[in-house]
Amino acid sequence: MDANGRDDLQAPLLKPSDSVAITISETNNKKEKKHRTAKFRIGDIKCASCATSIESVLGKLNGVENAVVSALQGEAAITYIPELINAKEIKETIEDAGFPVYEFTEQDIAVCRLKIKGMMCTSCSESVERALLMADGVKTAVVGLALEEAKVHFDPNITDTYNIIEAIEDAGFGADLISSGNDLNKVHLTVEGVNSDEDVIIVRSSLESAVGVTGVEMDSGEKKVSVSYNPDLTGPRSIISCIQEAGRGSKSYNAQLYVAPRRRETEQLQEIQRYRNQFLLSALFSVPVFIFSMVLPMLPPYGNWLDCKIHNMLSVGMLLRWIFCTPVQFIVGRRFYVGSYHSLRRLSANMDVLVALGTNAAYFYSIYVVIKALTSNKFEGQDFFETSAMLISFILLGKYLEVLAKGKTSDALSKLTELAPETAHLLTLDNDGNLVSEMEVSTQLLQKNDIIKIVPGAKVPVDGIVINGQSHVNESMITGEAIPIAKRPGDKVIGGTMNENGCILVKATHVGSETALSQIVQLVEAAQLARAPVQKLADKISKFFVPMVVVAAFMTWLGWFIAGQARLYPEHWMPQAINKFELALQFGISVLVVACPCALGLATPTAVMVATGKGASQGVLIKGGNALEKAHKVKLVVFDKTGTLTLGKPEVVSDVLFSSYSLEDLCDMATAAEANSEHPLAKAVMEHAKRLRLKNGSYTEHVTEVKDFEVHTGAGVSGKVGEATVLVGNKRLMRACSIPVGPEVEDYILKNEQLARTCVLVAIDGKVAGAFAVTDPVKPEARCVISFLRSMGISSIMVTGDNRATATAIAKEVGIDKVFAEIDPMGKADKIKELQMKGMNVAMVGDGINDSPALVAADVGMAIGAGTDVAIEAADIVLIKSNLEDVATAIDLSRKTMSRIRLNYVWALGYNILGVPIAAGILFPFTGIRLPPWLAGACMAASSISVVCSSLLLQSYKKPLHFQNTQGESHYAKSA
């Protein structure tokens, strides 16, 4: 994004990079919308009669419009009505007829995002993922533990969101639909006046016949309607008008936006409140148990009444502890039983299993002690009711503190979503540009080409172009650029930015989900949901971790019990009022609880969530944990030249004639040939020709049509202008087309290349007729960034399609030693692969279409934000500001994040490495120190909280490099 924000932002920044291709066919034809075609590959078709019999069977199905079976190819194409039948039923019908269906091609893949409830650790997220992947019709599923969300791609012919949610609930977890992929261009309205089936039909038919409407869903019970539409043809206000115009006579309908509750914040608050209430309820019963078992007995004579016998050896204290512990065990602790049941039913084990095992062992052993005391007049035993109650209380306290901390990991994303204003000043102008009316409307009602007034101090509601007025706009919340950017007519503005000091009129170009802000939010959400490769370590550990813990706990109990029975340790080691079995049981329960793998599952996703959110607020969009992880390994950065190291706005600084053609004729020929080219050099030549014509007073918008136009990749263009064959490009193009380049031309080229200028040659009818010398100024921060990368231990090279002399001159100016020039797009990708073959982790920084193969080939592709849409889609990281200093920011943020993840693993595993041996009693023989089960539960909770808080420290991250262009110097700052 340059100083005046002249980036087009034509397409969404976020393009799904999933393994499943998503194709959503849009059509306005009502008949086409009601039909769908599925293609099947069928086995055992031996002759034409087999094909005929299959067609006959399918033709009898209600909903099948047409079925064509090819006996030769063994394929079938079936056209059907999805409201009446689906592809799965058709497939089953073919198989019932005795013909196996090997595969079939779905026409559509739908996507949805779900909020998952009840996940405690990595094992839980894996269980949800497995349940989703086993569900019919689900193609891919990704579950994020820290975000507590799932993204599912599925075949709408086979399943729907209701069945997907049911699959999750069958696995023992809760689920709510957040959004479906079709919600991107959909408006939700409440309609007044719809009181009968007739009203529903009138409103539906009116909407379906409206231009640009692609789908209508009505809920007559709640009087809601959801309308999918093409934003280039219509918008929310037009849809509302359509509904109102459908009323005639006594029938009148009124529609307005349906404002859904802010689900993310609401659910987060509900979860915090739920854990808080559960902890308080648990504490209400656990505190008395703690007082009766550990406080009052140490305060004689106040606690003596607890030893009063009710019957035989059953005391008052024992009975009270039992009464107060039972609600904690079975009411508050019910969630652990439910979680354990569903986990064990899936033949897996998670935190719930460990907690249930530990608390049940303590509780039911205590029941055994109570029964023995009730039936014996000599039995003396110690109950563990306080262990069970306090263990559950500490775990719930830990989860409460954890969800409080986890809520802050998505603060950056929340701040981004809140940037867009709720209302906007909509203007209506007549054909002469005079103001007709002004009204304040909801931002959600804005449509493309609306004229919006933005007063000083107001936020820009959507992306658009300034058509009137001047101002400065603060884009720091989107790009991280602190200095307000001057905006004049023709400049782009971004939704969510702040207008500083002038009133401007803006024409909306991108609204709703197409705005840059919406795309950034979608990109960050996708990045936070994606699983980083380093997370695989935690996933592998969690698969066998819980069973190992159970075995270790059992072996601990068995070891201490056998040692006690064999009298391998002296009697004075025994604590008061505890026998050898009970001591062994306490050690076993402590091992069960302290080794919970919750923190291990949070180590990576929480850090990725904070880092991607922080990066987005700094103007660096990281497309997922994979890119974040790879960037820290980069040791070599490959830079494109034009638009990357240079400003990308080349200017013609000199021109020369080598023929009898006039300069104006030469410019006209070059302009005609270059009219269809998007290359920056072509635009520079055309702009020069325009200025020349304006200067001579002969400027015209008309450009002579070129025939046989051809692009010579990395060399130039050619075509026929009138009767003349014209070539415009570099010396390589001339040689390839056998056009002689004389000494005079060679001297001109050499002279300009030494000045870091690129020469564009124009050949007419086989002879070089003239040339233009084009220069592209180097970005002011380029040299500083190259130097800073070197200080980070990262080498830099340049790979460009420009000529060697110009490229070398630019490289020398910015401090790059190695240059590969005159390389075509595929050559750039090959050069990247060649460097990778030498064992280097390579990052590629580029901005053009010709850079996209190299961006894909590189370990980490970084696209300049003001670059082309193709480059942005191909890249792993998008630098929104088009500022090279963010190359260093991206790599440094990656390093800091990976360092934080490693530290998180130290916290997570450190608690287990230290806690398990202590819980198992390794220090007890030497120091008498042991870890009671309730304290082990506190340690387990502390490990999760420490990991989340460790990740939150990334919120304080600061850029390592700040370049002050006004002073012509750089400022280096240590990032946190």
CATH of the domain at 133: 3.30.70.100
Bigger pLDDT: 964 or 747?
747
Query: In this structure, is residue 315 part of a structural domain?
Result: yes
Question: For position 497, what pLDDT does the model report?
Answer: 86
Average pLDDT over residues 804-826: 85
CB 95 within 8 A of CB 87: no
CB 619 within 8 A of CB 651: no
Query: In this structure, is residue 9 part of a structural domain?
Result: no
CB 192 within 8 A of CB 149: no
Query: In this structure, is residue 305 part of a structural domain?
Result: yes
With bands split at pLDDT 50, 70 and 90, how would you rate the model's confidence at 448? confident
- What is residue 335's DSSP assignment? H
439 plus 362 within the same structural domain: no
Query: In this structure, is residue 19 part of a structural domain?
Result: no
pLDDT in tens, 628-668: 888 999 999 999 887 788 887 788 888 888 888 888 888 88
Which of 10-24, 182-196, 472-486, 836-850 is modeled with the greatest confidence?
Answer: 836-850
Task: Mark which of 205, 236, 260 sits at the end of a domain.
Answer: 260
Average pLDDT over residues 565-573: 82
CA distances to 190, 192, 240, 252 from 244, rounded to whole Å, are 12, 10, 6, 7
Bigger pLDDT: 256 or 82?
256
The whole-angstrom separation of Cα 312 and Cα 717 is: 104
Average pLDDT over residues 179-190: 73
Q: pLDDT at residue 695 above 60? A: yes
Question: For position 531, what pLDDT does the model report?
Answer: 65
Token couple for 154: 């599925």
CB 289 within 8 A of CB 325: yes
- What is residue 959's DSSP assignment? -
Q: Select from 274, 257, 270, 190 the least CA-distant residue to 225.
A: 190
Among 373-382, 403-412, 440-449, 908-917, which stretch is predicted with the lowest mean pLDDT?
A: 403-412
Number of domains in the chain: 8
Average pLDDT over residues 325-337: 91
With bands split at pLDDT 50, 70 and 90, how would you rate the model's confidence at 893? very high
Q: What percent of the chain has pLDDT over 90?
A: 10
Task: Mark which of 260, 275, 295 sits at the end of a domain.
Answer: 260
The whole-angstrom separation of Cα 954 and Cα 975 is: 10
740 plus 677 within the same structural domain: yes
761 plus 677 within the same structural domain: yes
- Residue 505 exposure: Cα atoms within 13 Å on the Cβ side: 14
Q: pLDDT at residue 18 above 50? A: no
Dihedral over Cα of 826, 828, 829, 834: its sign = positive
The side-by-side arrangement of strands in the sheet containing 174-180 is: 138-144, 149-154, 110-117, 174-180
Question: For position 265, what pLDDT does the model report?
Answer: 67
- What is residue 491's DSSP assignment? -
Bigger pLDDT: 125 or 411?
125
Q: pLDDT at residue 624 above 50? A: yes
Question: For position 285, what pLDDT does the model report?
Answer: 94
173 plus 96 within the same structural domain: no
Domain membership of residue 63 as a residue range: 36-102
pLDDT in tens, 222-237: 778 888 888 878 888 8
Q: pLDDT at residue 30 above 60? A: no
Between 535-565 and 122-134, two packed helices, what is the crossing angle to 10 degrees? 120
Question: For position 3, what pLDDT does the model report?
Answer: 40
The rounded mean pLDDT for the chain is 80
Dihedral over Cα of 198, 203, 208, 214: its sign = negative
Average pLDDT over residues 737-766: 87
| CATH at 870 | 3.40.50.1000
Query: In this structure, is residue 24 part of a structural domain?
Result: no
Return the bridge partners of 150, or none.
114, 143
Among 647-661, 688-702, 775-789, 887-901, which stretch is predicted with the lowest mean pLDDT?
A: 688-702
Return the bridge partners of 111, or none.
153
Residues 464, 466, 472, CA angle at the centre, nearest 5°?
Answer: 105
Long-range contacts of 430-436 (CB under 8 A, 24+ apart): none
Q: pLDDT at residue 532 above 90? A: no
Q: pLDDT at residue 282 above 90? A: yes
Amino acid at 478: I
Residue 219: count other Cβ atoms within 10 Å of its Cβ. Answer: 13
Token couple for 682: 């072509």
Task: Mark which of 416, 443, 470 sits at the end of a domain.
Answer: 416
Q: pLDDT at residue 786 above 90? A: yes
CB 478 within 8 A of CB 7: no
569 plus 704 within the same structural domain: no
The whole-angstrom separation of Cα 466 and Cα 802 is: 35
Question: For position 486, what pLDDT does the model report?
Answer: 85
Token couple for 529: 């949901």
Q: pLDDT at residue 569 above 60? A: yes
94 plus 236 within the same structural domain: no
- Any alpha helices (H) in 256-384, and if so which ranges? 263-290, 316-327, 334-345, 351-375
Among 135-139, 562-566, 865-869, which stretch is predicted with the lowest mean pLDDT?
A: 865-869
pLDDT in tens, 85-124: 877 788 888 888 888 886 555 456 778 888 888 887 777 8
pLDDT in tens, 55-78: 888 888 888 888 888 776 677 888
The contacts of residue 368 (CB under 8 Å, 6+ apart) are none
Looking at the chain, the number of H-run helices and the number of E-run strands are: 31, 38
Q: pLDDT at residue 323 above 90? A: yes
Question: For position 237, what pLDDT does the model report?
Answer: 87
SS3 of 399, please?
Answer: helix
CA distances to 615, 878, 896, 959 from 956, rounded to whole Å, are 11, 21, 11, 10
Q: pLDDT at residue 562 above 80? A: yes
Average pLDDT over residues 757-771: 88
Query: In this structure, is residue 565 part of a structural domain?
Result: yes
330 plus 286 within the same structural domain: yes
Q: Select from 858, 363, 356, 889 the least CA-distant residue to 596.
A: 356
Among 300-314, 389-403, 859-873, which stretch is predicted with the lowest mean pLDDT?
A: 859-873
Average pLDDT over residues 760-775: 89
Among 291-295, 732-736, 743-747, 802-806, which stretch is predicted with the lowest mean pLDDT?
A: 802-806
673 plus 765 within the same structural domain: yes
750 plus 783 within the same structural domain: no
295 plus 399 within the same structural domain: yes
| CATH at 452 | 2.70.150.10
Please indicate, yes or no, whether the overall pTM of this predicted structure exceeds 0.75: no
410 plus 275 within the same structural domain: yes
Residue 782: count other Cβ atoms within 10 Å of its Cβ. Answer: 23
Query: In this structure, is residue 747 part of a structural domain?
Result: yes
The alpha carbons of the chain give a radius of gyration, in whole angstroms, of 35
With bands split at pLDDT 50, 70 and 90, how would you rate the model's confidence at 906? confident
Average pLDDT over residues 349-361: 79
Q: pLDDT at residue 542 above 90? A: no
Question: For position 162, what pLDDT does the model report?
Answer: 87
Name the one residue in this structure whose structure tokens are 């799965």: 88
378 plus 434 within the same structural domain: no
Amino acid at 749: I
Cis geometry, peptide bond prior to residue 301 (ω within 30 degrees of 0):
yes
Query: In this structure, is residue 2 part of a structural domain?
Result: no
- Specify the pairing of strand 186-192 against strand 224-229: antiparallel
Question: For position 407, what pLDDT does the model report?
Answer: 67
- What is residue 792's DSSP assignment? T
